[in-house]
């Protein structure tokens, strides 16, 4: 049971903090860093949800994920039983639910022909930011798990890995189900300015084309990308 009746305690003024067991750790300790980044992921998701009032299904999914992330933080912060109570752990069922929800969202999306640049709608941009923070949390958890004396639950690592995938798919859903995605055009800005301008005149394309625009037959091969993704 959590009881918060006093917010500041002064016990952290020496640069340490308490794990769930009461054990003191330095605030830069990798375990503290890992569950701190899980908390940061949760906060970023909370900001993204401010922009999802018109997508209730996705917002509900993210609400469940926020609760799961508190479970994950408690999992990381508690190494053993406290007061005879079993340690709260992330379990396989939470990972399974996340995978089902990824599949549900992904069914609405067209396959990608390139990587997606972070951005688009405000919700999508915040979800991309949450995704990158989530990836950092995963790296820290994996580094922690590599230490023999630092147990990390396998389900927790799977959960944080799937979560970054969920946030990527969710960002595409928030971008009008992928219609507002901006795709990466490899090497696009490496062309000489004069060559790019000449090419644009030859192409006779509007100021912005879709992600699957085709290059004219007389386009110099060095200006073509593998997927023929163009934006002028």
Helix axis angle for 92-106 and 56-77, nearest 10°, is 150
pLDDT of residue 147: 94
Instruction: Retrieve residue 226's tokens.
Output: 């593998």
The stretch 68-90 carries a mean pLDDT of: 82
What span, in angstroms and rounded, lies between the C-alpha atoms of 79 and 198? 64
Regarding whether 158 and 124 lie in a shared domain, the answer is: yes
Four-point Cα dihedral 40, 46, 50, 51, nearest 10: 70
What span, in angstroms and rounded, lies between the C-alpha atoms of 127 and 180? 14
Regarding whether 175 and 215 lie in a shared domain, the answer is: no
Regarding whether 125 and 55 lie in a shared domain, the answer is: yes
pLDDT of residue 204: 42
The stretch 18-31 carries a mean pLDDT of: 74
Residue ranges of E strands in 7-157: 16-18, 24-26, 116-117
- pTM of the predicted protein model: 0.78
At residue 55 the predicted structure's pLDDT band, cuts being 50, 70 and 90, is: very high
Regarding whether 195 and 179 lie in a shared domain, the answer is: no
Regarding whether 192 and 173 lie in a shared domain, the answer is: no
Higher pLDDT, 8 or 149: 149
What span, in angstroms and rounded, lies between the C-alpha atoms of 164 and 115? 15
Regarding whether 142 and 80 lie in a shared domain, the answer is: yes
Higher pLDDT, 171 or 22: 171
Q: Let me know: does 101 contact 166? Beta carbons within 8 Å.
A: yes
pLDDT at 41 over 80: yes
pLDDT of residue 87: 78
Domain residues for the domain of 25 are: 16-183
What span, in angstroms and rounded, lies between the C-alpha atoms of 127 and 168? 7
DSSP string, 147-205: STTS---HHHHHHHHHHHHHHHHHHHHHTGGGTT-EE--TTGGGS-HHHHHHHHHHHT-
Instruction: Retrieve residue 63's tokens.
Output: 């609400």
Please state the domain count of the chain. 2
Higher pLDDT, 29 or 133: 133
Q: What does the pLDDT look like over 207-231, one tens digit per residue?
A: 444 444 445 555 555 444 444 444 4
């Amino acid at each position: 049971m959590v009881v918060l009746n006093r917010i500041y305690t002064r016990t952290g003024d020496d640069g340490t903090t308490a794990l769930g067991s009461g054990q003191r750790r330095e605030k830069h300790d990798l375990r503290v860093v890992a569950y701190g980044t899980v908390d940061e992921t949760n906060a970023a998701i909370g900001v993204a949800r401010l922009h999802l009032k018109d997508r209730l299904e996705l917002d509900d999914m993210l609400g469940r994920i926020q609760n799961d992330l508190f479970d994950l933080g408690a999992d990381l912060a508690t190494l053993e039983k406290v007061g005879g109570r079993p340690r709260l752990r992330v379990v396989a069922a939470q990972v399974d639910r996340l995978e089902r929800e990824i599949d549900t969202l992904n069914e609405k999306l067209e396959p990608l022909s390139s990587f997606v640049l972070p951005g688009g709608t405000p919700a999508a941009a915040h979800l991309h930011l949450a995704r990158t923070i989530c990836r950092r949390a995963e790296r820290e958890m994996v580094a922690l798990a590599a230490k023999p004396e630092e147990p990390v639950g396998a389900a927790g690592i799977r959960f944080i890995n799937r979560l970054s995938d969920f946030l990527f798919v969710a960002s595409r859903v928030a971008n009008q189900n992928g219609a507002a995605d901006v795709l990466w055009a490899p090497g696009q800005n490496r062309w000489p300015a004069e060559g790019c301008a000449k090419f644009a005149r030859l192409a006779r394309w509007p100021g912005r084309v879709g992600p699957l625009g085709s290059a004219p037959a007389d386009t110099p091969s060095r200006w073509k990308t593998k997927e023929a993704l163009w934006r002028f």
